[in-house]
């Protein structure tokens, strides 16, 4: 893929790592294969793409890693592997940003909140969660890109990340309260 891009265009200007799969299985019931598959796609896929493209990217190029606000505040959602992989993407993105600083390759993290897609079909809007549309996600993300933000937290992601720093137990409790019906009883 990288060789084809280099042959066709001479450079890789932007890499967007937008891998995101999960299993709606509680952590205690998730098989090692399910966990491994989620981590392989979400985390390892982003790693391998950054490794392949980062070696040929030039000053002014950008790597955009899509993580999730669930990487910061998970509180019992039945997506333990997803949340863990997105937390790892957050950490990996920060490391990559520092390590590529002198190369001129910009490393950006987009940390979306709950978005109105099929993946969020089971999330009830209300007390804790406010879902945004994909159009609103794109609009807010591009507005942040225009001002040079390296960590983009559109919609409710900004508030959840801020509150997680100030009152982690409170925010985790609120997220758990809103999501515990998604976790089967007896887990």
Lowest mean pLDDT among 10-24, 49-63, 164-178: 164-178
Mean pLDDT of 34-62: 93
CA 82 to chain centre: 9
CA atoms within 13 A on the CB side of 56: 17
Count of structural domains within the chain = 1
Q: Does 82 participate in catalysis according to the annotation?
A: yes
CB 14 within 8 A of CB 61: yes
Is residue 77, in this structure, part of any structural domain at all?
yes
Mean pLDDT of 5-21: 91
Write the pLDDT tens digit of every residue in 125-150.
Answer: 665 567 889 999 999 999 999 999 99
SS (HEC) of 81-138 = HHHHHHHHHHHHHHHHHHHCHHHCCEEEEECCCCECCHHHCCCCCCCCCCCECHHHHH
pLDDT for 172: 75
Is residue 121, in this structure, part of any structural domain at all?
yes
Catalytic residue among 67, 72, 82, 144: 82
CATH (domain of 76): 3.40.50.720
Write the pLDDT tens digit of every residue in 14-47.
Answer: 999 998 888 777 788 889 999 999 999 999 999 9
Q: What CA–CA distances, in Å, run from 55 to 24, 59, 60, 61?
A: 36, 12, 14, 11
User: Dihedrals φ, ψ of 25, to 5°?
Assistant: -125, 130
Is residue 12, in this structure, part of any structural domain at all?
yes
pLDDT at 62 over 90: yes
Strands 151-152 and 106-110: parallel
pLDDT for 59: 92
Q: At 69, is the pLDDT very low, low, confident or very high (cuts 50, 70, 90)?
A: confident
Is residue 187, in this structure, part of any structural domain at all?
no
Residue 71 has which token pair?
Answer: 């990487």
pLDDT at 113 over 90: no
Q: Domain range spanning residue 46?
A: 2-182
pLDDT at 181 over 80: no
pLDDT for 116: 82
For residue 16, the surrounding DSSP H or E stretch is strand 14-17
């Amino acid at each position: 893929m990288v060789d084809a891009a280099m042959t066709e265009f001479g450079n890789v200007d932007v890499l967007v790592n937008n891998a995101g799969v999960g299993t709606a299985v509680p952590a205690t019931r998730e098989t090692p294969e399910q966990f491994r598959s989620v981590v392989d796609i979400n985390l390892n896929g982003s790693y391998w793409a950054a490794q392949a493209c980062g070696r040929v990217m030039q000053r002014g190029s950008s790597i955009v890693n899509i993580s999730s606000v669930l990487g910061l505040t998970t509180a019992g959602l039945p997506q333990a592997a997803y949340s863990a992989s997105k937390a790892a993407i957050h950490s990996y993105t920060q490391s990559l940003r520092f390590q590529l600083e002198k190369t001129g390759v910009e490393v950006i993290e987009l940390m979306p909140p709950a978005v109105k897609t099929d993946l969020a079909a089971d999330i009830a809007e209300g007390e804790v969660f406010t879902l945004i549309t994909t159009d609103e996600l794109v609009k807010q993300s591009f507005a942040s890109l225009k001002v040079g933000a390296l960590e983009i937290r559109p919609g409710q992601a900004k508030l959840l990340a801020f509150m997680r720093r100030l009152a982690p137990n409170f925010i985790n409790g609120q997220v758990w309260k809103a999501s515990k019906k998604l976790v089967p009883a007896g887990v």
